[in-house]
Every structure is written in structure tokens, then in C-alpha cells.
């Protein structure tokens, strides 16, 4: 199977389906559409039949701060290079709009650190940077 990468958003249903498969929270369609309207760049991977098998997007201010978000590959298609294809497209966008010292961040699922390290990301905390932190509203 040769996946095809498209510069587009998944449908809200596809987005929630991938999130569900990743055991992440899902959202109402209206919220997904609002999120898309504030997204700088998005890609989807599809198989030959058009089935969505992965996605990723970029958030941020399009200059100084960029954030890799929602890199998800359907579990049945993992470990086949699809995540790498998605990241390559996202990083190509980042290289195009980023400048020296652009801060590119991401939060990865536990156990996926090595995957992102292969693209030059580093773990925090380290000798230079403190722990990354998040707050999730309840």
C-alpha cells in the first residue's frame, strides 16, 4: 500500500475517529471546525480507497512559535512509515515559514519520544529547558 498525503483537513468525523482510535478525547463537530479555522497547516494520509489513515497539523503564530499537533496514525497502519510521511510534510511547512530561533514544540504520547527525536526534537526537562507543562480544562 502506498499512502497518499493531501494538504487538507480531515472531516470532523474522521478527526474524531482517529482521536478515538488513539484513545484521545473527541469533540463536537462545531469545535473541530473552530479548531480548523485557527490551524495554520494540515495534512491527511489516505489509502488507495480514500480511507483516512493518518493526519497532523500545525498551530501557532506562523513565525516565532509553531506547534505540531494531532499527529495520529490509524493503529492498523502504524509502523509502516506513515507517521514519517506526515512529519516530513509538517516539517517542510515549518521550514518554509520558520526563521532562525523559531520555537517548534509538540507534546507526544508516552512512548513516542524516540519517533520525534528522529526529527530533531529533544526531551524536556534537560540542562537548558525546564519541564513542558499543560493544563487540561475539566
24 within some domain = yes
- Eight-class DSSP state of 102: -
Domain membership of residue 11 as a residue range: 4-117
Cα–Cα nearest to 38, from 14, 59, 64: 59
pLDDT tens-digit map of 6-63 = 999 999 999 999 999 999 999 999 999 999 999 999 999 999 999 999 999 999 999 9
61 within some domain = yes
133 within some domain = no
* CATH number, domain with residue 95: 3.40.630.30
136 within some domain = no
38 within some domain = yes
8 within some domain = yes
Cβ atoms of residues 22 and 10 within 8 Å: no
135 within some domain = no
- Eight-class DSSP state of 37: H
Q: How far apart are alpha carbons 61 and 74 in whole angstroms?
A: 29
85 within some domain = yes
What's the total number of domains in the chain? 1
Q: Give 2's pLDDT tier (boundaries 50, 70, 90).
A: confident
Amino acid at each position: 500500500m502506498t499512502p497518499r498525503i493531501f494538504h487538507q483537513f480531515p472531516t470532523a468525523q474522521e478527526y474524531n475517529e482517529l482521536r478515538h482510535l488513539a484513545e484521545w478525547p473527541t469533540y463536537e463537530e462545531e469545535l473541530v471546525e473552530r479548531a480548523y479555522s485557527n490551524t495554520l497547516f494540515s495534512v491527511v494520509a489516505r489509502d488507495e480507497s480514500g480511507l483516512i489513515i493518518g493526519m497532523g497539523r500545525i498551530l501557532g503564530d506562523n513565525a516565532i512559535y509553531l506547534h505540531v499537533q494531532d499527529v495520529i496514525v490509524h493503529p492498523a497502519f502504524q509502523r509502516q512509515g506513515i507517521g514519517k510521511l506526515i512529519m516530513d510534510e509538517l516539517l517542510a511547512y515549518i521550514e518554509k515559514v520558520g526563521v532562525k530561533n523559531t520555537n517548534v514544540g509538540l507534546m507526544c504520547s508516552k512512548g513516542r519520544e524516540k519517533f520525534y527525536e528522529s526529527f530533531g526534537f529533544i526531551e524536556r526537562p534537560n540542562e537548558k529547558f525546564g519541564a513542558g507543562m499543560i493544563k487540561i480544562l475539566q
